[in-house]
Structure 1
Amino acid sequence: MILAIIFFVIILDQITKYLAIGLKNGSIKLVENFMELVYVENRGAAFGILQGKKIILVFFTFFIIAALCYFLYKSRNRLSTISKVSISLIIGGAIGNLIDRVFRHFVIDFISVTFPNGYEFPVFNVADIAVVCGTFLLIIAFVKTDDFEEIQ
């Protein structure tokens, strides 16, 4: 299950980014005045921070992926399903964006949301969705399970 989730996220992320390249010459409105698909090259991290700091971002992302994989491997027999799913989503999303950083030197973002008050949320992608959903599930796992008690 763990590897299936990770690979599913990576494959879905890479396919959607490949399709998003076709948006370089325009956008597709999904919901008028709310959501559209656009092509953005993000050379930073979340919300555009650390622009142009590719080496730092690659190293940090690789470190986080390695740490999560190690934790998941060492704790796999005692973790609840929600914990395994949450960590798998985070790993898959992190790998999806890492692939972009290493091979394209930027991350392709393409989902644009504008709220009714005019606020334009930073453009994001499938990998970002997986990381955010995984993080929310991880918070739930922290609260609802004893999975993260001190490891013996």
Structure 2
Amino acid sequence: MLTITVKPFDAFTIDELYDVLQLRSEVFVVEQDCVYQDIDGKDRKALHVIGKDSDGKIVAYTRLFNAGDYFEKASIGRVVVSEKARAFGYGHEIIKASIEGIKEHYHTEAIKISAQTYLRKFYNSHGFTQIGEEYLEDGIPHISMIR
């Protein structure tokens, strides 16, 4: 089970920020072999959903944006779970917490995401539906989805 916290950028400890950036780089840059600018200047505007395992290690993460900050609807991005922790259902836990975080902090249930295409069924299981056609984002097939 994850211990999940939601916090603004300025509430990060230095160690938490380092660990989040390390996890994002480990998965998005190294594992997915995708050279892109992860540190995109948007983290300061986002709320951060941090999932820690029983050892206190950050193994799951997302960032949340209010409507108009990234898309016209509130959004969830940088959804990531450590490769070693994927067998435990942490992806489902962090998405549920992210949806609740948007409801609680942004007072809306309308959410738009840019999802990696291979995760369509995962996001469908959380109430998201595809809109539009597949497109490439940083060389990886993506689809727009709304909830």
Report the TM-score, using the length of structure 2 for normalisation.
Answer: 0.29
Structure with more contact order per residue of length (Cα contacts < 8 Å, sep ≥ 6): 1
Greater CA radius of gyration, 1 or 2?
1
**Structure with the largest fraction of strand:** 2
**Structure with the largest fraction of helix:** 1
